[in-house]
Amino acid sequence: MSLARLARRHFVRAAVIAATTLAAAPAFAQSTWPDRPVRLVVPVGAGGAADTLARNLSNGFQQFANGQPLIVENRPGGGGTLAAAAVAREKPDGYTLFLAEVGANAVAHVLQAKLPYDPHTAFTPIVHAANLPSVVVMKPTLPYKNLAEFAADARKQPGKFNYASAGIGNWTHLFMAYLSNQAGIEMVNVVYRSGAEMLTSVIRGDADVAPITVSTALSHIKEGRVRSLAGFGSKPMAQLPDTEPASKALPGFDVLLWHGIVAPAGMDPALTARINGVFNQVLQSDSVRNAINVAQAAEAVGGSAAQFDALIKLELKRWPDVAKAAGMKPE
Amino acid sequence: MDFLANLGLGFGVALTPANLGFALIGCLVGTLVGVLPGIGPVATVAMLLPLTFHLEPVSGLIMLAGIFYGAQYGGSTTAILVNMPGETSSVVTCIDGHQMARNGRAGAALTVAALGSFFAGTVATLMIALFSPPLALVGQSFGAPEYFSLMAVGLIAAVVLAHGSIVKAVAMVLLGLLLGLVGTDGQTGGQRFTFGVTILSDGIGFVPLAIGIFGLGEVIANLVAPQQRRELVSSRISNLWLTKEEFRQAWPASVRGTLIGSVLGVLPGGGATLSAFAGYVLEKKVARDPSRFGKGAIEGVAGPESANNAGAQTSFIPMLTLGIPGNAVMALMIGALTIHGIQPGPQVMTERPALFWGMIASMWIGNVMLLVINLPMIGLWVQLLKVPYRQLYLAILLFSAIGVYTVNNNTFEVILTALFGIVGYIFIRLECEPAPLLLGFILGPLMEENLRRAMRISGGDPMIFLNRPISLGLLIAAALLLLVVALPAIRGKREEVFQEK
């Protein structure tokens, strides 16, 4: 046997092995994923609603995932785009997941000139994990009882009222820009560093209104330190039965502060389905459901990967227009 | 007596063997985290958070709290021994603490830091128990205009931090302000000096800057220096305990530091760090002979160390009474409470008195533990100085790199730290003090942010700074301070000139 033939035989054998391994890989992956710890990259710092959500998911993950843990890795920065860009560069092997939200996944590409990834194509959507109900709160010294009253007065005095937000392009900014746009009012945006700072500024009376998650604001609303003017979602909220949805004053208004799991683009559909299945089990387990729905005053969602994909696609249509209408430019 | 009954309830909870154990674990981990440069309580608490899900809420909180204030004790150790701020709040401890170590008084510096911290911790815990609600109101009454005016006081005070040339001090403050400008302009989203580097859009981190300029700069300087200078520290270790004279100088400083720290700690955002700076400035101002500062004045350790511990303790007040986190660690604790199904807020005090008072009682117990852990360890720590520097510095570099990395899980910041190390060495050669730079770096962005916030709130009317009483008072204080700083500085320069002759 000549050396060349030997080499060729080796090559052929290697190729056959490689081919069969590749073909078998998806089936292998879906039955055994995960066989090592899974990383969930969270685009915000530790503490706060999105981080708590990630930790709640991580808490219930192990029992449905071959005993493997879900490790929460906080990578704050760049309005969430730092973490998103890092995840987009990873392999879609199911071991690096990302906690997606409106900023990095639906609007960052119109706010940042040199975004290293394209939210339309960089990720494989996996599951819509939860919505964090959020409300517009107002300082209690203002006389308005609901959004319609407030909007009516604000329309007459453009620029008189200010709202607190947590940064340009942050959901707090986008939601208020959208609300102002829909209500035809003009307000001054005052930027703070966190939801906690925003809330204090409303309590103190420096800010007139602010968008805040129900879990952060609930006790302050109940104690009367701030008044909840309207809910951003169109559904009534169990924790705040007296708060009307914004759609009462602005028909059709419905925005969700959604969070979900995505993976790098190009994931094998069988693996996507397997991960989706695990997270649906996690979301349906009593302890996680309770932690999210009751303790966090949020709404666990779940559902198929296709549903989440559709939601992100809708959001990718809505927010860039809102951002442009509000005069936000790429930096 | 309601108060005594509440405290009794609290100690009943805190003194159970399990909770004592968790307090001890928290204090030990906290001390370790404090000693290691860069690795801060935020990263540690975030890592340990999942552990607390399986504990009783009060046990989990006791442990996490122990980590937080334990780090304040530990932070001073690295600052004194190797001139490396173990925590952001121990930056000023480097100034005189490390000089004391160079003078052979490392033991005394560590002792006074531990005793001062304990005293401050005890007083601050009492203040939390007695005055939580009114103190929380003080914190809340600080809006954007008040912050701006407070920062104005702080910036002027920054000049006092430096010993030696006032021109250099002002230059360093300005350089700090410039470095603080890097990042995203909060109100418009515009990028400043970020050169397309995404991580810079959040600004330069405090940890890379402080570790680089203070710690690594010192490492380079030590390695460049001849062997004898390097080993000087180890050859001159004397008595570990305080002399009578030192004790007489230290205790009033500790009392003043505690008071200032207790008040500033309540303010949201960096209470402990701000307290430490304020404590140092105050000591230097009230001292009969300010020229001793920067050369190993014990008040320069006792004041800020008491202030930062008091500040760390009282920063719990907004979290405990209002459910509003003043800093990242508090935000994590609120997260922990939420996961346990406890809605943080004022009702915690009334609905879950065992949790509230148990936590307060555990803070005092934790402070006792920290004293017991730290005092006997001092001898051990001082022995560390006998390790040959060519071995010690490797450990310092390694832990710094790990610490910096854990802040944001980002390698760019490690590289940044190395660059700042070189800058720090240049500063040492130029005899420029890094402390005013760091203060300018912290205060500058806060000042700008709050100025613009205030102007937006008022609709562009600058009178907002004069119409609000607290803000007005602070601005008057700033003006007075400017006079006080300017006069002796001009005279002080002459004295220095005479000294040289």
Q: Which residues pair with A258 in a beta bridge?
A: A131
Query: Shortest CA distance to A283 belongs to which of A130, A132, A67?
Result: A130
Contact B409 A58 (CB under 8 A): no
More confident position, A61 or A329 = A61
Query: Shortest CA distance to B300 belongs to which of B317, B277, B321, B327?
Result: B277
C-alpha dihedral, A122 to A127 to A132 to A136, nearest 10°: 50
A287 touches B at CB < 8 Å: no
More confident position, A13 or B23 = B23
Question: What kind and span of H or E run contains B425?
Answer: helix B411-430
Per-residue confidence (pLDDT) for residue A1, from 0 to 100: 41
Instruction: Give ipTM to 2 decimals.
Output: 0.78
Q: Do A121 and A267 fall within a single domain?
A: yes
**With a threshold of 0.90, does the pTM exceed it?**
no
> Considering CB atoms only, which of B186, B268, B331 is closest to A47?
B331
Q: Residue B494: CB partners within 8 Å, gap ≥ 6?
A: none
Contact B409 A74 (CB under 8 A): yes
Per-residue confidence (pLDDT) for residue B254, from 0 to 100: 94
Cβ atoms of B128 and B360 closer than 8 Å: yes
State how far Cα B370 lies from the chain centre.
Answer: 17
Per-residue confidence (pLDDT) for residue A278, from 0 to 100: 96
Rounded to the nearest angstrom, the minimum Cα separation between A1 and chain B is: 53
Segment B57-73 mean pLDDT: 89
pLDDT digits (tens, 9 = 90+) for A1-54: 444 454 444 544 544 444 444 444 444 445 689 999 999 999 987 777 888 899
Domain that holds residue A239: 134-248
Segment B422-438 mean pLDDT: 89
Contact A328 B347 (CB under 8 A): no
Segment A226-239 mean pLDDT: 92
Rounded to the nearest angstrom, the minimum Cα separation between A76 and chain B is: 7
Residue B86 pLDDT exceeds 90: no
A44: nearest CA in chain B? Answer: B408
With vertex at residue B122, the alpha carbon angle to CA B119 and CA B127, rounded to the nearest 5 degrees, is 125
For the four alpha carbons of B186, B191, B192 and B195, in that order, the dihedral sign comes to: positive
Contact B328 A51 (CB under 8 A): no
Residue boundaries of the structural domains of chain B: 2-500
Residue A111 pLDDT exceeds 70: yes
Output DSSP code: residue B222.
H
A51 touches B at CB < 8 Å: yes
pLDDT band at residue A66, thresholds of 50, 70 and 90?
A: very high
| Mean pLDDT lowest among A138-142, A199-203, B231-235, B483-487 | B231-235
Which amino acid, residue A240? L
Question: What kind and span of H or E run contains A209?
Answer: strand A209-213
Quote the CA–CA distance of A234 and A254 in Å, as a whole number: 5
Domain presence at residue A7: no
Total count of domains within chain A: 2
Query: Shortest CA distance to A99 belongs to which of A170, A171, A44, A175?
Result: A44
Cβ atoms of A330 and A113 closer than 8 Å: yes
pLDDT band at residue A74, thresholds of 50, 70 and 90?
A: confident
Residue B312 pLDDT exceeds 50: yes
The burial of A5, by beta-carbon neighbours within 10 Å (0-12 exposed, 13-18 middle, 19 or more buried), is given as exposed
Q: How many CB pairs under 8 A join A and B?
A: 143
A146 touches B at CB < 8 Å: no
Per-residue confidence (pLDDT) for residue A172, from 0 to 100: 93
A191: nearest CA in chain B? Answer: B187
A155-162: Cβ within 8 A, 24+ apart: A155/A183, A155/A184, A155/A185, A158/A185, A158/A186, A159/A186, A159/A187, A159/A188, A159/B459, A160/B459, A161/A185, A161/A187, A161/A188, A161/A208, A161/A209, A162/A187, A162/A188, A162/A189, A162/A190, A162/A207, A162/A208, A162/B456, A162/B457
Q: Do A117 and A266 fall within a single domain?
A: yes
> Considering CB atoms only, which of A75, A76, A204 is closest to B143?
A204
Task: Please tell me chain B's helix, strand, coil percentages from 3-state DSSP, rounded to the nearest 5.
Answer: 80, 0, 20
More confident position, B8 or A11 = B8
**Preceding peptide of B488 cis, ω within 30°:** no
List the beta strands (DSSP E) in B309-421: none
A78 touches B at CB < 8 Å: yes
Q: Do A146 and A105 fall within a single domain?
A: no
Residue B137 pLDDT exceeds 80: no
Q: Do A127 and A142 fall within a single domain?
A: no
Q: Do A108 and A196 fall within a single domain?
A: no
Q: Which residues pair with A34 in a beta bridge?
A: none
Per-residue confidence (pLDDT) for residue B367, from 0 to 100: 92
Per-residue confidence (pLDDT) for residue A25, from 0 to 100: 46
pLDDT band at residue B303, thresholds of 50, 70 and 90?
A: very high
Segment A151-158 mean pLDDT: 95
> Considering CB atoms only, which of B334, B339, B343 is closest to A55?
B339
Contact B186 A197 (CB under 8 A): no
Residue A208 pLDDT exceeds 50: yes
**Backbone phi and psi for residue A134, each to the nearest 5 degrees, phi listed first:** -135, 155
Residues of chain B neighbouring A47 (CB-CB closer than 8 A): 46, 325, 328, 330-332, 334-335
Residue B386 pLDDT exceeds 80: no
Q: Do A124 and A50 fall within a single domain?
A: yes
Residue B384 pLDDT exceeds 90: no
Per-residue confidence (pLDDT) for residue B270, from 0 to 100: 57
Domain presence at residue A24: no
More confident position, A239 or A136 = A136
Q: Do A126 and A268 fall within a single domain?
A: yes
Per-residue confidence (pLDDT) for residue B231, from 0 to 100: 56
Q: Do A63 and A118 fall within a single domain?
A: yes
Best of B320, B405, B450, B457 to mutate (most A CBs within 10 Å, chain A): B457
More confident position, A78 or A234 = A234
Q: Do A104 and A42 fall within a single domain?
A: yes
Domain presence at residue A18: no
Q: Number of H helices and number of E strands within chain B?
A: 23, 2
Cβ atoms of B315 and B266 closer than 8 Å: yes
Q: Residue B478: CB partners within 8 Å, gap ≥ 6?
A: B149, B152, B153, B156
> Considering CB atoms only, which of B143, B269, B334 is closest to A201?
B143
Q: Which two tokens mark A278?
A: 């695990």
Listed residues A248, A278, A303: the one ending a domain: A248
CATH number (domain holding residue A87): 3.40.190.150
Cβ atoms of B194 and B183 closer than 8 Å: yes
Q: Do A117 and A144 fall within a single domain?
A: no
Q: Do A66 and A100 fall within a single domain?
A: yes
B53: nearest CA in chain A? Answer: A59
Residue B136 pLDDT exceeds 80: no
Rounded to the nearest angstrom, the minimum Cα separation between B375 and chain A is: 33
B324: nearest CA in chain A? Answer: A196
> Considering CB atoms only, which of B53, B184, B328 is closest to A46?
B328
Residue A315 pLDDT exceeds 80: yes
Q: Which two tokens mark B411?
A: 């390698």
Per-residue confidence (pLDDT) for residue B240, from 0 to 100: 74
pLDDT band at residue B243, thresholds of 50, 70 and 90?
A: confident
pLDDT band at residue B6, thresholds of 50, 70 and 90?
A: confident
pLDDT digits (tens, 9 = 90+) for B407-427: 777 888 899 999 999 999 999
pLDDT digits (tens, 9 = 90+) for B209-232: 888 888 888 888 888 877 665 555
What's the Rg (C-alpha) of chain B?
22
Quote the CA–CA distance of B122 and A139 in Å, as a whole number: 37
Question: What kind and span of H or E run contains A124?
Answer: strand A123-131
Q: Could you tell me what percent of chain A has a pLDDT over 90?
A: 66
Q: Which residues pair with B183 in a beta bridge?
A: B192
| Mean pLDDT lowest among A122-136, A138-152, B155-169 | B155-169
Q: Compute the residue count for chain A.
A: 331
Best of B49, B54, B349 to mutate (most A CBs within 10 Å, chain A): B49
Residue B349 pLDDT exceeds 90: no
Residue B399 pLDDT exceeds 50: yes
Helix axes B271-286, B299-314, angle to 10 degrees: 150
Q: Residue A241: CB partners within 8 Å, gap ≥ 6?
A: none
Interstrand relation of B191-192 and B183-184 (parallel, antiparallel or unpaired): antiparallel
Quote the CA–CA distance of B52 and B50 in Å, as a whole number: 5
Which amino acid, residue B146? E
Contact A295 B341 (CB under 8 A): yes
Q: Which two tokens mark A60?
A: 């219930």
Listed residues A248, A275, A300: the one ending a domain: A248
Contact A85 B268 (CB under 8 A): no
Domain presence at residue A214: yes
The burial of B28, by beta-carbon neighbours within 10 Å (0-12 exposed, 13-18 middle, 19 or more buried), is given as middle
Per-residue confidence (pLDDT) for residue B269, from 0 to 100: 61
Q: Do A71 and A140 fall within a single domain?
A: no
> Considering CB atoms only, which of B339, B345, B457 is closest to A162?
B457
| DSSP string covering B45-112 | HHHHHHHHTTS-HHHHHHHHHHHHHHHHHHHHHHHHHHS--SSGGGHHHHHHHHHHHHTT-HHHHHHH
Quote the CA–CA distance of B316 and B362 in Å, as a whole number: 13
Segment A105-123 mean pLDDT: 91
The burial of B107, by beta-carbon neighbours within 10 Å (0-12 exposed, 13-18 middle, 19 or more buried), is given as buried
The conformational region for residue A257 under phi > 0 = left, psi -120 to 50 = alpha, else beta, is: beta
Using DSSP's 3-state secondary structure scheme, residue A241 falls into: coil
Domain presence at residue A179: yes
pLDDT digits (tens, 9 = 90+) for B140-161: 788 889 989 988 887 887 776 6
With vertex at residue B293, the alpha carbon angle to CA B287 and CA B299, rounded to the nearest 5 degrees, is 60
